[in-house]
Amino acid sequence: MEVVIVEDQAAAGVLVADIVARHVRPGGVLGLATGSSPLPVYRELIRRHREESLSFAGCRAFLLDEYVGLPREHPESYRSVIRRELTDHIDIDRVDGPDGEATDIPAEAERYEAAIKEAGGVDVQVLGVGTDGHLGFNEPGSSLPSRTRVKTLTRQTREDNARFFDSIDDVPHHVLTQGLGTILEAGHLVLIAAGASKAPAVASAAEGPVSAFCPASVLQLHPRATLVVDEAAATQLKLADYYRYAATHKPDWQPF
């Protein structure tokens, strides 16, 4: 795993946008995450689309997860969020996400897995991390080879996400999420984390044991994983000096 410590969220956004942009081409398959962490990335991609003719024509995208039971048109459904924050502002061809309104949730999970496979798999997957170490909506305890399925949110995640709703009572209890095994099949995993509240999860993900207790630690199992963190999220990293040294001395020919 490559850990990159950057000054702030804006710098993280530019770096992750650079990585994503390498996969923006006809036939490219992007894995998109919601939450506030990737927003600087999406703002930068929109800017490049508008100002530098970065075209997403011929690209497809798959979302990581979705709330179960939240109407598709609800402003906080992840399909609405990704439209508002990114895909309405670029020329991407098709965006798919798990359908949280499906009457048969296990069948929908199977459909989603098949759709990703049929598209040829995800080339680059953008990720955030929950304060409890969740990846997508794979809460602590998620099995490492898990596939798309329903999960029950922890109290902590519902409290964290209550800021997007009128009250915590409006945050759904259940979600459909790509499994950890599904996520691990993407070609390149790029996790972005910012702020002091993410520091413990970032340290566990990068330097703790690989464990279902910290689902984001599965990044350690992937041959191409990049963790981009701002200074505040990096404070508990034991090898922070080494990561900075490695970035400073990175060979010109080696892209992030």
96 catalytic residue (yes or no): no
139 catalytic residue (yes or no): yes
From 66, 139, 185, 230, the catalytic residue:
139
Place of tokens 């199977």: 110
| Residue 36 interacts with ligand GLP (CB under 6 A): yes or no | yes
Kindly list the distances between the CA atom of residue 220 and the CA atoms of 61, 65, 155, 248, in Å, as whole numbers in the listed order: 24, 21, 26, 22
- Cα separation, 84 vs 163, whole angstroms: 17
Please state the closest distance from residue 226 (CB atom) to ligand GLP, in A: 15
| Residue 181 interacts with ligand GLP (CB under 6 A): yes or no | no
Q: Closer CB to ligand GLP, residue 86 or residue 129?
A: 129
The answer to whether 221 touches 50, Cβ cutoff 8 Å, is no
Q: Closer CB to ligand GLP, residue 146 or residue 161?
A: 161
| Residue 142 interacts with ligand GLP (CB under 6 A): yes or no | no
Please state the closest distance from residue 119 (CB atom) to ligand GLP, in A: 20
Which residues between 64 and 123 bind ligand GLP (CB under 6 A)? 64-65
Please state the closest distance from residue 130 (CB atom) to ligand GLP, in A: 4
The answer to whether 77 touches 71, Cβ cutoff 8 Å, is yes
Q: Closer CB to ligand GLP, residue 59 or residue 192?
A: 192
Count residues near ligand GLP (CB under 6 A).
14
Which residue(s) pair with 190 in the sheet?
126, 226
Please state the closest distance from residue 63 (CB atom) to ligand GLP, in A: 9
Q: Other C-beta atoms within 10 Å of 43: how many?
A: 17
Select the residue interacting with ligand GLP from 77, 138, 142, 161 (CB under 6 A). 161
Select the residue interacting with ligand GLP from 16, 32, 33, 184 (CB under 6 A). 33
Options 1-9, 29-37, 40-48, 92-100: segment touching ligand GLP (CB under 6 A): 29-37
65 catalytic residue (yes or no): yes
Task: Give the residue at shortest CB distance from ligand GLP.
Answer: 128
The answer to whether 1 touches 219, Cβ cutoff 8 Å, is yes
Q: Closer CB to ligand GLP, residue 55 or residue 152?
A: 152
Options 33-41, 50-58, 92-100, 110-118: segment touching ligand GLP (CB under 6 A): 33-41
Give which of 172, 180, 135 is closest to 152, Cα–Cα: 172
Q: Do β-strands 2-6 and 174-177 pair in parallel, antiparallel, or remain unpaired?
A: unpaired
Which positions are annotated as active-site residues?
65, 132, 134, 139
Q: Which residues bind ligand GLP (CB under 6 A)?
A: 33-37, 64-65, 128-130, 136-137, 157, 161
